[in-house]
Structure 1
Amino acid sequence: MKKYYFTKLSDKKKKELIKRKAISSDSVKKTVEKICSDVKRNGLKSAIKYANKFDGFSSDNVYVTEKEFSEAEKLLSSEIKSAVKSAYKNIYKFHAKQYPKDYFIETINGVKCGRKFLPIENVGVYIPAGTAPLPSTMLMLGVPSQIAGCKRIVVFSPAKDKINPAILYAAKLCGIKEFIKIGGAQGISLLAYGSDNFKKVDKIFGPGNQFVTTAKSVVSIDPDGCAIDMIAGPSELLVIADNFANPDFVAADLLSQAEHGKDSMVILLTASEDLIRKVGDSLNQQLKNLPRKVFAKATIESSFCMLVDDVNDAFNFSNTFAPEHLILNLKNAKKYLNKVVNAGSVFIGEYTPESAGDYASGTNHSLPTFGFARSSSGVGVEMFMKGVTFQSINKKGIKSLSKTIITLAETESLQAHAEAVKVRLK
């Protein structure tokens, strides 16, 4: 890891360290726009063509069959099924508390206003299948959509022939009945535009590579497309640790994110130079035993640690960076929670690894990256719903509001607005 001294950094250098890499190039955008346009015109036929070209798709059926769902369960060990079930229960328990409550109030006599939360009817869930199968992502997106009560939840994931059985098992727990073996930009396009034999969705959820992310961006600004959850970039982890932290714990946490891929970013902030040295030694040792050490090593080499004067400097940098994941490996870590302003998800104390949130603690691991944690939240039940407002006004109420409405309408030179009230007063 590169090493920096916070007090020696210029403002320009700090901005450079906070800046993320672009996730899409002109060539990627050009390729994606061509795919989106083709699928928009020709539907499922074109999507299958690209799935064959990019993913080697060769299945007889583009849909996962009931038989495949059943076979997937038989292929899994009892240990894996138990782990998936346990994670499902915790994720469900946490997300069930998020279900928003409807409310109605009387703002003034004769004027009643309310807000009712309704599920989005048709949602698409994208599950990547690049360097590793991700049943956890199936749970993180399937559970909140299930709790929200979405009528139709369709899952897309790339495959040559069969979908990973753990993903299918997780999907079945989430009540998924519609699962399509197409991924990439072609999958996103089909979700957004639909086809003669496939109904489009209203909103797409899920992470992916630069082609998937670019496709989500393209369809989200097309009037014929659909909404998306967020623009998701490479995984991020920032650790704030003190001299009480176990260096092996810190190193393990950094590696847990580093192994996602070479585009991931991990950062260590501490006031202890001794901890930096020990963490470096531990990283080298732990790397030797990782099956995905090529990915992890590339990430570690492009990431950095920073020596700060105190914890305040660490939080100032962290809040500006706005990490996807923030670990507080500090003595009495809970007392620092009020210093957290911008972060996707926070992991408090030495026995709270980021991987707990990735899999089974209950919180969601679909979180804002690219610094969007300054203004956005991670995936939750409310993202699969929309709030509809209602108002009911009786004769007494419109009379009470009339002067205010008419004055404001005439101030804005919108006379018809004013007349819509005046006609009711005659």
Structure 2
Amino acid sequence: MKTYNWTDLNAAARRIALARPEQRSDPALQVAVRAIVDDVRSRGWEALVQQATRLDGEAPTRVAVAPIAAEARRTLSADQIEAIELAARNIETFHAGSLPQDHVVETLPGLTVRKIWRAIDRVGLYIPGGKTPLFSTLLMLAIPARAAGVAEIVVATPPRPGGGLDPVIALAAELCEIDAIWTVGGAQAIAALAFGAGDIPAAAKICGPGNAWVAEAKNYVASLPGGAAIDMPAGPSELMVIADDSADPTTVAADLLSQAEHDPTAQVLLATPSKALADAVEREVSAQAATLPRAEIAEASLAHARFVITADLKDAAEVANLYAPEHLSLAVAQPEDLLGGIRNAGAIFAGRLASETFGDYLAGSSHVLPTDGAARAWSGVSAYTFLKAISVQTVTAEAAVRIAGPAAALARLEGLEAHARSADARLAVAAGSNAAPPPFPSPSGRGVKEVAEALARPEILALPPFDIAAQANEAFGPDAIKLDANENPFAPLSEGALAAGLNRYPEPQPARLKKAMAALYGVAPDNLIVTRGADDAIDILIRAFCRPALDAVSICTPTFSAYGHFAKLQGARLIEAKLDANFDFDADAFLDTVRHEPSLKLAFICAPNNPTGNLVDPADVLRVADALPNTLIVLDEAYLEFSETPSLAEEAIRRPNLAILKTLSKAFGLAGARIGALLGNPDLIAIAARALPPYPLPSLSIEAALAALSPSRRPIHLERIARIKADRDRLAGEFARAPIVNAVRSGGGNFLFLEVDDPAALAKKLNGLGIRARFRPNAAPGGVRITIGTDAENDAALAAFGVPANDSPARRGEVVRDTKETKIAVAVDLDRPAPRKIDTGIPFYDHMLDQIAAHAGFSLILSCEGDLEIDAHHSVEDCAIAFGTALSRALADRRGIGRFGFSLPMDETEAHVLIDLSGRPYSVFEGTFEASHIGDYPTEMTRHVFRSLADSLGAAIHVRVQGENDHHKTEACFKAFGRALRQAVGREGDRDAMPSTKGVL
């Protein structure tokens, strides 16, 4: 027995103190068990007989219990029989009284969800036998199964050493109303119960403990296709006792030995704040063990015993929660006070008079309990073990109308279109239709495919799908030997990671990119084709649906010029409907203009509008689509991310005549990659795709888009969008002060639309300054569109318009860092306190980085995808490198900063952090940590974090920390560093001054 003082142990030592005996299966045993199970599974009864004869010494036999039970009644004493019957009655009383009840919940008006309970049809019970047949286990399993209503119970137990069925087990079976038992044991019995053999039927679930062969067999059959479920993972028995000064050492020692005598690998523990009690119990255990019939087994078990001295009973309860014992005895004066703090245990025996032995036999609850820490998640056997909960939904017409739309939206968000259509179909049924509704009801009464084919050019419909490369990829996979496309087999003579694979044609519709973009826009991949920017989507739509000179395209002017350009290129007629005097979309005026055009195939609506930025109400777009069932409404959402208007992508994928244009050029900064998308219902998408060239997307663009859409990049994109919107609103006021500006429009785009007095003079001035702007005289006589740029670009534009530049340029830094182990994106803004969003995958490290930003008073967004399944090392170090690099970029030439900084006390801890933002990296770290980890954060990495920050930031960083608590010490280092940064990066008097007597850092 080993004794530990809990308060003196660090986290690693505590884990060692509570370690269980090594329980791993012998590989040879594992192989042997699987061979037995596989043999019985494949050859059935013949194999079972052979294996049982070899291992049990006799063939499996179905033994009627009545004659043998009668023998037991003759040979057992009256007291013994009465005890067994008392145990059976108590077990039945408890489990019959604890059966779950069906219940009903109305989650919404008309939407009722019921939970109903049904018994498992057939269960198999394994009862350990041999020298010590556990008749009590049969009671503990069969009676709860009967209480649950199981129709058929199949029982197997090893034959006695002399052969046949043990009489006491037969008596227990009779009390459980079981007529016969199969005498077969070990792995072969588990295989027969799981898969059936001869007259032994296959069970849906197998319950009961056993030796290592049985435990391994149960785990194995549960892992096989069609195998039986099992009650729980099984292992050697274990008991933990929590005791205080009031406990009786003799009783506590007896309890510990009651489990130690089970098995040499059983484990017993005592947790107590009383060292005197622990010493007394240890003496009692030694004295009592010597007199036990199974003393040798108990002594072997006691080698694994642990005595833990805790500060108080609350600490002892936490030890129990960490260990999660099979049996937990509360030998304390006030057990109810302690009970509320226990979260993990198989069974609890509360009070000095509650014996684990009572629970083993006749308290009423089952003694088949989770071991080996499984009590953290598993329950012991009960009536619930033999029941299944089934949910039943009842939906009224009112509820169907209420939930069909949200249900379809959620399904499409997960890319499950068939699910969404199933929800949509209920709307018509709820409205009283007896016929099944079309998949996508349309105002014209036609289905989606009919509408798409009616709109398409006949020449397009006559074309077969032109996607040879995609078909090959689908048939052979990406690792095929590619001798079909006349490519050069050698890599290009260029360097860099992006050059990889450039000798091969790219996928026409790259599956990974389609999936990523579909997830971005909340649709299924079949609802989307990837195009060379949104411009390409405009082109293919007009080519797919408009016949030259016959069909018409409408636009709402002033708007994006590409709509008219591609319409004229195809020879389609162009119908211009004017926006109103404020450049707003007037749905009624638009319909009045185009309603009587018989061959209007496409109607383009730009929302937000380019170049004016005006928003368009989604309800107006849907009203137009309903009013023009024979026209495809194309909604261009290129700038939607910069507005608060919701996307109509969800409507487009269910309507026959609505399509959406998307682009990664604006919000995701990929204008040079030329990646866009067309969204719509699958039939429309399939027809439009026929107009695509065979290889529309360059490999480099595909890789750039996939990198930009990586989850680690999303927080930075969102922050950039928010920054652009804020700059747009700020610049609108600044440009309004310009003497040459008459009007400023700030809508939903990443640009402003200005009206100026003398556009020719302004154009000449901007050209001379090297500033490019887009003049739009077709929208307004002095119309000019200004895109929101960087801080420096925005200041240059303001200056050209006669508005003084900002005296305090923003200090921002962004870094994207990809390695084999990590993908990291960081954004720092030294002049804003928020937002702060950190996700490294290591919660404690997230908190520490947040403490730096919070105490330094700046905004930090950091996201990391790392190989945490291997180790946290790479993520911690690489995040520090990227963070330091972003800080360095935000500081730029470091003019006007304080340069130096600080020390910080925290509880018992004192941390000193000194910083010099000199540009010369140097790191000193003085301090040690006892714990290896705080959560998932390795404390040894703290030193590396500050070294990496020093190197990447270009700073001298000196850290000295001392204290008693590793958590406090680590947190103090990061907080003090943040405080030091606040002082060092803060601006001082002369903002152009270099903080160095040398005039240079």
Q: Give me the TM-score of the superposition, normalised by structure 1.
A: 0.95
CA contact (8 A) 1:188 1:216 kept: yes
- Cα distance, 1:231 vs structure 2: 0.9
- Cα distance, 1:200 vs structure 2: 0.3
Partner of 1:50: 51
Q: Measured at CA, do residues 130 and 236 of structure 1 come closer, stay the same or move farther in structure 2, by a change above 3 Å?
A: farther
Partner of 2:189: 187
Range moving further from structure 2, 354-363 or 41-50: 41-50
After superposition, the C-alpha distances for 1:284-313 in whole angstroms (9 at most, x for unaligned) are 222233111111121113212122222222
RMSD: 1.7
CA contact (8 A) 1:120 1:385 kept: yes
The answer on 1:145 being equivalent to 2:140 is no
Range moving further from structure 2, 126-135 or 33-42: 126-135
Q: Measured at CA, do residues 409 and 72 of structure 1 come closer, stay the same or move farther in structure 2, by a change above 3 Å?
A: same
In the alignment, structure 1 segments of 5+ residues that lack a partner are: none
CA contact (8 A) 1:265 1:299 kept: yes
CA contact (8 A) 1:23 1:233 kept: no
Partner of 1:3: 3
Q: Measured at CA, do residues 302 and 421 of structure 1 come closer, stay the same or move farther in structure 2, by a change above 3 Å?
A: closer
Structure-to-structure mapping, 1:9-28, within 5 angstroms: 9-20=9-20, 21-28=22-29
Out of 294, 297, 301, the position equivalent to 1:295 is 297
Structure-to-structure mapping, 1:338-417, within 5 angstroms: 338-417=340-419
Q: Measured at CA, do residues 62 and 174 of structure 1 come closer, stay the same or move farther in structure 2, by a change above 3 Å?
A: closer
Residue 385 of structure 1 aligns with an amino acid whose one-letter code is L
Out of 305, 308, 311, the position equivalent to 1:306 is 308
Partner of 1:98: 98
SS at match of 2:105: strand
Query: Which of 1 and 2 has greater Rg?
Result: 2
CA contact (8 A) 2:91 2:140 kept: yes
- Cα distance, 1:333 vs structure 2: 2.0
Structure-to-structure mapping, 1:103-182, within 5 angstroms: 103-160=103-160, 161-182=163-184
- Cα distance, 1:198 vs structure 2: 2.4
SS at match of 1:365: coil
SS at match of 1:133: coil
Range moving further from structure 2, 169-178 or 380-389: 169-178
- Cα distance, 1:181 vs structure 2: 0.3
SS at match of 2:113: strand
CA contact (8 A) 1:154 1:177 kept: no
Residue 143 of structure 1 aligns with an amino acid whose one-letter code is I
- Percentage of pairs with the same residue: 38
Q: Measured at CA, do residues 106 and 333 of structure 1 come closer, stay the same or move farther in structure 2, by a change above 3 Å?
A: closer
Residue 214 of structure 1 aligns with an amino acid whose one-letter code is E
Residue 88 of structure 1 aligns with an amino acid whose one-letter code is A
Aligned equivalents of 1:273 and 1:109: distance in 2? Answer: 61
Out of 203, 222, 229, the position equivalent to 1:220 is 222
> Higher relative CO (CA 8 A, sep ≥ 6), structure 1 or 2?
1
Partner of 2:432: none
- Cα distance, 1:44 vs structure 2: 2.5
Structure-to-structure mapping, 1:202-351, within 5 angstroms: 202-351=204-353
CA contact (8 A) 1:64 1:181 kept: no
Residue 82 of structure 2 aligns with an amino acid whose one-letter code is S
- Cα distance, 1:62 vs structure 2: 3.9
After superposition, the C-alpha distances for 1:302-352 in whole angstroms (9 at most, x for unaligned) are 212122222222122111001011111112222111111111111111111
SS at match of 2:427: coil
Q: Measured at CA, do residues 64 and 183 of structure 1 come closer, stay the same or move farther in structure 2, by a change above 3 Å?
A: farther
Q: Measured at CA, do residues 231 and 382 of structure 1 come closer, stay the same or move farther in structure 2, by a change above 3 Å?
A: same
Aligned equivalents of 2:266 and 2:252: distance in 1? Answer: 17
After superposition, the C-alpha distances for 1:357-403 in whole angstroms (9 at most, x for unaligned) are 11111122111111111111111101101011111223332112222
SS at match of 2:340: helix
- Cα distance, 1:23 vs structure 2: 4.1
Q: Measured at CA, do residues 319 and 131 of structure 1 come closer, stay the same or move farther in structure 2, by a change above 3 Å?
A: farther
Please list every run of at least 4 consecutive aligned residues from structure 1 whose deviation after the TM superposition is greater than 4 angstroms.
none
CA contact (8 A) 2:59 2:184 kept: no
Partner of 1:78: 78
SS at match of 2:171: helix
Aligned equivalents of 2:164 and 2:383: distance in 1? Answer: 29
CA contact (8 A) 2:242 2:331 kept: yes
Aligned equivalents of 2:73 and 2:100: distance in 1? Answer: 34
- Cα distance, 1:168 vs structure 2: 1.3
Range moving further from structure 2, 129-138 or 221-230: 129-138
Partner of 2:447: none
CA contact (8 A) 2:207 2:231 kept: yes
Q: Give me the TM-score of the superposition, normalised by structure 2.
A: 0.41
Residue 378 of structure 1 aligns with an amino acid whose one-letter code is G
Aligned equivalents of 1:88 and 1:66: distance in 2? Answer: 17
Aligned equivalents of 1:219 and 1:347: distance in 2? Answer: 33
- Cα distance, 1:180 vs structure 2: 0.5
After superposition, the C-alpha distances for 1:146-180 in whole angstroms (9 at most, x for unaligned) are 10110100111001422221111111111112410
Aligned equivalents of 1:264 and 1:119: distance in 2? Answer: 34
SS at match of 1:297: helix
CA contact (8 A) 2:4 2:17 kept: no
Aligned equivalents of 2:108 and 2:145: distance in 1? Answer: 36
Aligned equivalents of 1:185 and 1:361: distance in 2? Answer: 31
SS at match of 2:315: helix
SS at match of 2:189: helix
Partner of 1:39: 40
- Cα distance, 1:36 vs structure 2: 0.3
Aligned equivalents of 1:350 and 1:404: distance in 2? Answer: 56
After superposition, the C-alpha distances for 1:244-270 in whole angstroms (9 at most, x for unaligned) are 211100110001111111110001111
Count residues with an aligned counterpart.
425
After superposition, the C-alpha distances for 1:182-230 in whole angstroms (9 at most, x for unaligned) are 1100000000010243210000000111110000000001013110001
Aligned equivalents of 2:261 and 2:66: distance in 1? Answer: 34
Q: Measured at CA, do residues 219 and 289 of structure 1 come closer, stay the same or move farther in structure 2, by a change above 3 Å?
A: same
CA contact (8 A) 1:234 1:264 kept: yes
Aligned equivalents of 2:318 and 2:385: distance in 1? Answer: 29
Aligned equivalents of 1:182 and 1:211: distance in 2? Answer: 13
Residue 147 of structure 2 aligns with an amino acid whose one-letter code is I
CA contact (8 A) 1:51 1:158 kept: no
